[in-house]
Chains A and B, each alone.
Chain A
Amino acid sequence: MGKQTNINSDYREEERLTCVLVLDSFNSYINEIVSHTTLPLCLWPVDGQSLLDYTIHTLMRSGIQEIILLATSNSYEIRTYLMNSHWLKTYPKLIRLIPCKDARSLGDCLKDLEQENIINNHFLLIYGNGTLITNEKLNNLFNIHKENIKKDKNCIMTLVYRQLESNQFEHPSFTDDQHLYIIRDSNTHRLYDYSKEYLDTYEIPLDLLEKPNVTIETLYCPLDCHLAVCSTDVLHLFKDNFDFLTINEFVKGVLRDEEIAGHTIYSYLYETGYFLSVHNLRLYMKATFDILRRWSYPLVPEIIASMHKPLVSSTVTTPTSPQIKSNDSYTSFHNMSYPIVYDKHNIYKQGDIQLDRLSNIQKDVFIGNKSQILSGVCISSSLIGQNCIIGKNSRIENSIIWNHVQIGENCHIKNSIICDNVLIRNNVQINKECILCKGVIIGTNAQLKERITIIASNSITSTKPMDDVEIDEDIQLPPVDFKRSNSKQSRSSTRLSDKSLPSSIEETITSNIDLVGSDGLGKELIFSFLHEHQTKSFQATSDDDDDDDDEDDDNDEKLLNPFDAWGYRIENKDLSIDDNEDNNERPSKPFVKQPSIISDDDDDDDDDETSGTSGSSTATESHRTDDEGDVSEFQEEVIRTLERAYLQKLKKENIIVELNMLKPTYDVSPTEFDQSITRAVFLLPFEKKITNIEKPNYWNTLKLTMDQITQDILKNYMKTTNEEAQMTLLNELDLICLKFIQPIGERIVNILNYLYEKDVLVEEWILKWYKNKQEKIQKNELVIKPEEKIYYDKLKQFIEWLQNAESEDDDDDDED
């Protein structure tokens, strides 16, 4: 012991090993959810302790002597937590909390840190959510960084990764937001390129291969530890460059300005050891289960368990001062210590629990103090907090249950997170990846579908200071949900009425019932922030009309939060629909009702074709979505192509070749292909870049595009000799017109006339098609809604004219 302390003190004189934790994931989805749980993500319980505690243990093991916490909006909770924890008492100088209340990004936090002027040496930076769990000792990273500096004076940062095997996409600790592509020198590990792009759009800068004495090595999707060793210059750079908001931008920026500023970045790849940076909910669950399965040894519950207050159960008494009087506090906090007993099959029992003889605790289970498990309960791979009651014959799988939760009989809970004070009545079924926030009550026989976040309706006002949030967005959940349009619609109606705030409470109570049952309490969480971000992103995109700048592209992506709380990539359509509703008003309603047919235009993607980022996104989406999704993605792609063709005045031959290339990529049938082309042509004028912003006029814009390019495209694919193709074209046009009576349907005469004149359509097919349609109407297969009448009238008008023209044959076009 004597030796030990001496070593430490020597070390201290030499330099203090510092670590900076940025305790915010800056993902608005997560922050929104977190605000309803009263605990910031870094304090969420993991096997008897908070995530932050595990991180601090990690750092202590590594011999870190100073931990600086940068807390954003959650700083009050973190401060309260620290006051109650034993760390401040045991190591008074170890932890320092710097609140950065206004910080909206990592960059802001680091700017605040720079102003504090307390960093004067290399430091470890843990970003992401600031919660890294590892059993490696990190102190040798400082040495590695110093080595790098010795070799290269310009080195300012060493990024740390953990190697994964080649099939990393299937690895459970890989989430979409960790997608990364790194090119580095295999000897020096110097970073040359760093990209979040997907492989099919990413191009290796070829000039790298020509560099002398450089052996290029690529790292594809290593496990991102969200860990970096930084020199002090990093802070200065963050301060000087306001556009560095994330590490991603920082690295890209530094690499881009390498010739000017001369800074370089290195990387280090761990090949062993457990690393998990918890920055979304999927990883939070993963961390919990990994710890239960002892991957993080020696950071395991029964060893970590210490005498400080268990976190969540503590009704936070306002802390008086960090220096708590020793004697009385000692007794109180020693009583709080619940030893954890480890049993075979990775079962952890904390303190006093009541386990029924007939209960079936399978494996990887943590049961908190004073919890009761009644007979017939089956639990596997789960965390049960303190003071929970699990009713008879319930099944709990892969779930995390916080403290003071009551679960009734015959419930079935899968892969979900259930926060404090939740009451679940009998026969409830909760499917994957649901989150029940604090105080929710789920009524009898309720069934929750996948990925729903439920909040107690009153908690919105009580816990979260709302800043003029307007709840009118329909889409708040990631794509899986998107397809269940039925349940969606029923809810969307209630939600739209939420706009009027005074009546919102009543509305929530009515909306409860179909979700949480008649005796339940709670409503689905609506991500209020989407609104804010949209306006921003809209401005951003409308500014950078045609430039191919990566930076701007990233900005958009970031603001729109491309990843949801579970770390899944959010498919662009969700957001695009919101954008439409907000920004172009016109085609809003039909979009919501029939999402699968309509093209999705998207601000985010506007300039992508040229810069290349979004092609990547579509690529991943195609992994996940089914055929239907493929088609709509394909159509999206067609629209992009046409748009580009129009804006850049490309030759039609090139475009046709390009479209032909797209066909096999998305695996669409010929009919689908034709349909998509048609739709794309007629929806193209809705694109923002093409629309004349001052006076949006559909017909004029359409005519412009038609004149320039699209008529040729139609001609090429819908040959007048091919009956089927012509019918497809007409049918699609019909559908689109019906959907958008307002701008398109009323102009049907002009459109058809135009197509007729340009020989895209021949009257033979038009008449035949019309005849078919009339027959259908007569047989009552088609019902004409009142608002559609105008369209049919116009159509009839045109047909009559056409028939006349046929008979007279010499008539001039006089319609326009």
Chain B
Amino acid sequence: MARIPVDVEIEIDRFCNNVKQSTYTRSVDLALATILILKKLIGESKWSNASELITMIRSQAHRLNEGQPVDSITFNITRRILKIIREVSVRIIHGKNEGSDISLTLQAVLNDRATMLTMNDDEYENPDDNLQLKKKQQVQADLTESMPINSIESEVPMHILKPELMDDLNWYATDVELSVQNLAQQALAHIHANEIILTLGYSYTVERFFKYAAAKKRQFHVFILEHAPFFTGHKMAINLSQANIPVTVVTDSAVFAIMARVNKILIGTRSLLANGGLTAKSGTYNLALAAKNYNVPLLVCAPTYKFSPTYLPSFDPVMCNSFPSPENILSYESLFQSSLDIVVPMHDYVPPELVTLIIGSGMGNAPSYVYRIVSELYSAEDNDLERSQKKSSR
């Protein structure tokens, strides 16, 4: 059985506490911290083969997510790392063939429930590789039938896996670190001259996106919804105006009124669900509906680690939400009876049909394509990470 040394335990606890105390203001920081903690876990605990490692990480996944009960970033990162472990172990077994890597990804997809659909998609996407692919798939299919995936991984011993894995993890960490930058570099493709662009509240990614375009001498005007009652829009406005971008701050309630003037909407999101829906700042749903009404395109900046393979369990607004202090609305000093209820939701769910384009690290995608990206990013076995953990802990 895999063992976790004390100092890693402590490290994990500290990480949880840091999350609870909202030390990480930006989601990138949180993502990087998660990678770091998982690297530590992999590097310093005792495990003999890959399958042990996977079980161990899975057992820790829920613990890492403590303190942010509705945020999925740690889960996404954990899933991605599990996927990397699986990939690396398969690569070790089947030789260092890059091609097999791709095919294996598809293999995972094949095992998924929506087998037929993906097949078609694949063929459509890579018509050139089609023949070669089909052959490989067959080989792989035979292979997996004879040997379940778990047993493949249990064959991979620690001393071979570890160095390779560490390389990959480092590569992944830099990838995450640069993801915002990569995303921002697409700015010129989306922001055209003299456009009026609407955004909501503060998002680090969106800020970088705008600044990149401004640095390339693109002329555009930004409307910012102030995002009451948190008013993060004010910070965004100040930051952007310092980069000499013309900015107008608008109250949230005026979103419908100004929509007619807007060419494009560009927002960040907290997470991106597998169906292409968003959980984003409260007020985004309003914004998206208004945009739909005026047929204004709604672009969403989402770095890869925000892609989540889960779906919204229900339309219950509580499930994907967090509720901060009512002080944002009503001052604590003022008197009121307990019969007064104050609800301050932080997030909104936006259904995929209202989203026009999702700008990932590599390129723009339609929301309907998200499930495909997700299935490449994560292996299907880990999709139930959240649920399984909750069950086992009860």
- Residues of A whose CB lies within 8 Å of any CB of B are 1-4, 57, 60-61, 86, 89-92, 135, 163-165, 167, 170-172, 272-274, 289, 293-298, 302-307, 326-327, 330, 334, 337-340, 342-345, 351-352, 363-364, 381, 398
22 contacts between A and B (CB under 8 A): A1-B29, A1-B32, A1-B36, A2-B32, A4-B33, A89-B6, A90-B14, A90-B17, A91-B14, A273-B332, A295-B332, A298-B21, A298-B324, A306-B67, A307-B63, A327-B4, A330-B9, A334-B63, A342-B318, A351-B394, A363-B341, A381-B338
B311, CB-defined interface residue at 8 Å: no
Contact status A170-B335, CB under 8 Å: yes
Chain A: which residue is nearest B11 at the CB level?
Answer: A90
Chain B: which residue is nearest A380 at the CB level?
Answer: B338
CA distance A294 to B322 in the complex (A): 10
Among B5, B20, B36, B66, which residue has its beta carbon within 8 angstroms of that of A298? B20
Q: Name the distance in Å between B234's Cβ and chain A's nearest Cβ.
A: 16
Using known A-B contacts A274-B325, A274-B327, determine if residue A342 contacts B20 with beta carbons closer than 8 Å: no
Using known A-B contacts A1-B33, A90-B14, A343-B318, determine if residue A326 contacts B333 with beta carbons closer than 8 Å: no
Q: Is the interface of B mostly helix, strand, loop or mixed?
A: loop
> What residues of chain A lie closer than 8 Å to B326, measured between beta carbons?
293-295
> What residues of chain B lie closer than 8 Å to A334, measured between beta carbons?
63, 393
CA distance A351 to B392 in the complex (A): 11
Q: Name the distance in Å between B334's Cβ and chain A's nearest Cβ.
A: 6
B189, CB-defined interface residue at 8 Å: no
CA distance A86 to B29 in the complex (A): 25
CA distance A159 to B352 in the complex (A): 53
Contact status A342-B333, CB under 8 Å: no
Question: Nearest 8 A-B pairs (CB), nearest first?
Answer: A1-B33, A90-B13, A297-B325, A326-B6, A297-B324, A61-B21, A165-B333, A1-B36
Using known A-B contacts A4-B18, A90-B10, A164-B333, determine if residue A327 contacts B37 with beta carbons closer than 8 Å: no
> What residues of chain A lie closer than 8 Å to B251, measured between beta carbons?
none
Chain B interfacial residues counted at CB < 8 A: 47
CA distance A57 to B21 in the complex (A): 8
Contact status A303-B325, CB under 8 Å: no
B253, CB-defined interface residue at 8 Å: no
Chain A: which residue is nearest B390 at the CB level?
Answer: A339
Beyond the given A2-B32, A2-B36, A272-B327, please list 13 additional residue pairs across the A-B interface where CB-CB is below 8 A: A3-B29, A4-B29, A57-B21, A91-B14, A165-B331, A165-B335, A272-B331, A295-B325, A305-B66, A307-B66, A326-B6, A338-B393, A344-B317
> What residues of chain B lie closer than 8 Å to A326, measured between beta carbons?
4-6, 9
CA distance A765 to B338 in the complex (A): 61
Q: Name the distance in Å between B390's Cβ and chain A's nearest Cβ.
A: 7
Q: Name the distance in Å between B318's Cβ and chain A's nearest Cβ.
A: 5
Using known A-B contacts A60-B21, A294-B324, determine if residue A342 contacts B69 with beta carbons closer than 8 Å: yes
CA distance A307 to B4 in the complex (A): 16
Among A1, A330, A351, A381, which residue has its beta carbon within 8 angstroms of that of B37? A1
> What residues of chain B lie closer than 8 Å to A327, measured between beta carbons?
3-4
Contact status B5-A165, CB under 8 Å: no
**Complex interface bits, B17-28 against A, C-beta within 8 A gives 1, otherwise 0:** 110111110000
> What residues of chain A lie closer than 8 Å to B15, measured between beta carbons?
1
Using known A-B contacts A294-B326, A297-B323, determine if residue A60 contacts B17 with beta carbons closer than 8 Å: yes
Chain B: which residue is nearest A326 at the CB level?
Answer: B6
CA distance A524 to B21 in the complex (A): 43
Chain B: which residue is nearest A165 at the CB level?
Answer: B333
Contact status A298-B335, CB under 8 Å: no
> What residues of chain B lie closer than 8 Å to A295, measured between beta carbons?
325-327, 332
B68, CB-defined interface residue at 8 Å: yes
B214, CB-defined interface residue at 8 Å: no
Q: Name the distance in Å between B7's Cβ and chain A's nearest Cβ.
A: 9
Among B23, B316, B335, B394, which residue has its beta carbon within 8 angstroms of that of A167? B335
> What residues of chain A lie closer than 8 Å to B296, measured between beta carbons?
none
B16, CB-defined interface residue at 8 Å: yes
Which chain B residues in 302-361 approach chain A with CB under 8 Å?
316-318, 323-327, 331-335, 338, 341-342, 344
CA distance A289 to B341 in the complex (A): 13
Q: Name the distance in Å between B270's Cβ and chain A's nearest Cβ.
A: 16
Contact status A86-B20, CB under 8 Å: no
- Could you say which of A1, A165, A340, A398 has the most chain B C-beta atoms within 10 Å of its C-beta? A1
Chain B: which residue is nearest A363 at the CB level?
Answer: B341
CA distance A293 to B338 in the complex (A): 9
Contact status B67-A303, CB under 8 Å: yes
